Structure 1
Amino acid sequence: KFERMKKLKESGSIDEQSFEDIQSAFLVAQSAYQFTLENTEIRSPIDGTVTLVAQKEGENFNSMFTPVLIRIVNTEKMTANIQISDKDVALVKEGQKVEVRVKSEPDEIFMGKIYFISPEADQFGGTFHCKLSVQNRKNILKHNQFADFRIILKTKQNALTVPQKAIIDKKFVLVAENGTAKKKMIKIGIENEFKAEIISGLQENEKVLVEGIVGLKDGNKIEITE
């Protein structure tokens, strides 16, 4: 209609004032149309993969019954939720690194970093909710997948370590010396479930007994087999 009126104005069939009124009404209608159009488009704030479409085009939508219309997951960096016991929460800090493993890929280790620690404990379990971001290389990790987590509390370069199973009563190890087992009192530094740092009581070149130490005592004769 506006284009037709524009041609009429050019041919002199309508006066300038009438055309300006029509043009003004056209611009208002165009602006209202654009506003309505923008409010009918739903744009994702992130790039990702669509994992859920709750309704199809043309269906009526009610947010009370369908709170999630479309779910989009960014799989390049995942968010993981973990629970920390009240005994360990004092050791955990934002920014600490976390090793993540999933059963589907047991040999793969994914590195994450803690970015949120709840200031209050869960009222039922007494644990503290933590969130971490995890780099999802090769897109192996999946949405809602269970995983095992190991928080790296401390790291130290060139530390003297021994296997945990070689340490007896958290106090000493047995070393091989001239064909006998010799008891060495030690002091432990940082540790995990597999290894422990030895701060004092042991030298780097000493041979620590790891296997067959049950019942073995200081001074017992031993035979080292390769």
Structure 2
Amino acid sequence: MMKMIKNKYFIIGAIVVLLLLVISISMCGKKNGNETKTAKAHKGLMVVTITSNGTIRSNNEANLAAAGSGKVEKIFVDENQAVDKGQVLLELSSYGQAEKDYKRLAALGEKGYVTSQQVELAKEQWENTFIKAPFYGTIAKKFVESGEMLISGTPAFLLADLNDMIVETNIDETDIGNVKVGQAAEVSLDAYKNVKLTGRVLFISRSSLEVKEKGITYQVKVKFYPVSGVTLRLGMTCDVNVKVAEKNDVLMIPYTAIGEEEGRNYVFTVEKNMLKKKFIVTGLENYDNTEILSGLNENETVIENNTSKLKDGQKVKIK
């Protein structure tokens, strides 16, 4: 009697295990079925862009510093004030005496009592006591106040031409070879979500910038066209998309459909519910698709993912 009960429990347990196994296989099949995707090789326009982060700057800006050191006596401008080329922005406390010395020696020089070198030295010492604007622009930043000590070479102002704005961005060395002056670019501003600026590549640096976290990059400047009602400010952040290639009537498939074997690219096509492995030659590629130069025809169906797990001749069921 005890033996029959044990056999009964054994049979029930085996049935339960079998049911769980069937359910598990069924669920795995559904899961794999949901993950498997197909796509058709199709022709269309392919646009290849390089994307990077950028910053709004002026194409003509400079930190202005006095050549001499001393106490700041007078400041004639405020931030956001427009200034003309040659306008005096700041004077040091030694300005007055240096000016007198220069004028006195200049007068003596006209009479031949001092050399021209002495006059030039006095003029240089006088010019070291004030700061002039080297070009028309706006005082974007003021770094000193009256009464403070200013050390020679220390910036006192940031002067920028706000009528000549650009985007500065750093492009990775793996992409910089595809970037050319004159290429079209699109700028998306973080401050204006619905605004896109269009422009062109203005400048590509020949010298690299080494950033430890990001590797080697090169500075690129993009000149864009202004948009009415959009106030741009120095330092605004943005995304830059540089169009490096554009080609029409391109045969393409999703890049996820492509596998690699010993340096050769391949895809799996579906023919009469059976997989066929085909080696292909690729061309342009962007964030979504890859150009097919040979090995595949238009409207052929390819498996879009999990190519490394598939086999040539494997049967599939495409819904």
TM-score, normalising length from structure 1?
0.61
In percent, how many aligned pairs have the same letter? 28
1:89 aligns with 176
Please state how far the C-alpha of 1:195 moved relative to its aligned partner.
1.3
Please state how far the C-alpha of 1:51 moved relative to its aligned partner.
9.3
Please state how far the C-alpha of 1:39 moved relative to its aligned partner.
5.9
| Higher strand content, 1 or 2 | 2
Confirm or deny: 8 A CA contact 2:259 2:307 kept in the other structure: no
2:76 aligns with none
User: Equivalences for 1:70-219 in 2 at 5 Å?
Assistant: 73-74=162-163, 78-102=165-189, 110-122=197-209, 126-137=216-227, 139=230, 143-169=234-260, 171-211=265-305, 213=307, 215-219=309-313
Aligned to 2:157, the other structure's residue is in SS state: coil
Compared with structure 1, are the counterparts of its residues 174 and 135 closer, same or farther at alpha carbon in structure 2 (3 Å cutoff)? farther
Compared with structure 1, are the counterparts of its residues 126 and 39 closer, same or farther at alpha carbon in structure 2 (3 Å cutoff)? closer
Mapped to 2, the partners of 1:100 and 1:137 lie a distance apart of 12
Compared with structure 1, are the counterparts of its residues 190 and 141 closer, same or farther at alpha carbon in structure 2 (3 Å cutoff)? farther
Please state how far the C-alpha of 1:80 moved relative to its aligned partner.
0.9
Q: Deviations over 1:34-69 (max 9, x none)?
A: xxxx968x9x958xxx895859xxx89x9x887437
Alignment: residue pair count: 182
Compared with structure 1, are the counterparts of its residues 218 and 142 closer, same or farther at alpha carbon in structure 2 (3 Å cutoff)? farther
Confirm or deny: 8 A CA contact 2:200 2:222 kept in the other structure: yes
User: Equivalences for 1:29-108 in 2 at 5 Å?
Assistant: 67-68=156-157, 73-74=162-163, 78-102=165-189
Compared with structure 1, are the counterparts of its residues 162 and 127 closer, same or farther at alpha carbon in structure 2 (3 Å cutoff)? same
Compared with structure 1, are the counterparts of its residues 39 and 179 closer, same or farther at alpha carbon in structure 2 (3 Å cutoff)? closer
Return the letter of the residue paired with 1:90: G
Mapped to 2, the partners of 1:151 and 1:70 lie a distance apart of 29
Bigger RCO (CA 8 Å, 6+ sep) = 2
Segments of structure 2 that go 5 or more residues without pairing to the other structure are 1-85, 89-132
Supply the RMSD in Å over aligned alpha carbons: 3.9
Please state how far the C-alpha of 1:111 moved relative to its aligned partner.
3.2
Compared with structure 1, are the counterparts of its residues 69 and 109 closer, same or farther at alpha carbon in structure 2 (3 Å cutoff)? closer
Compared with structure 1, are the counterparts of its residues 118 and 69 closer, same or farther at alpha carbon in structure 2 (3 Å cutoff)? closer
Confirm or deny: 8 A CA contact 1:78 1:135 kept in the other structure: no
Segments of structure 1 that go 5 or more residues without pairing to the other structure are 1-37
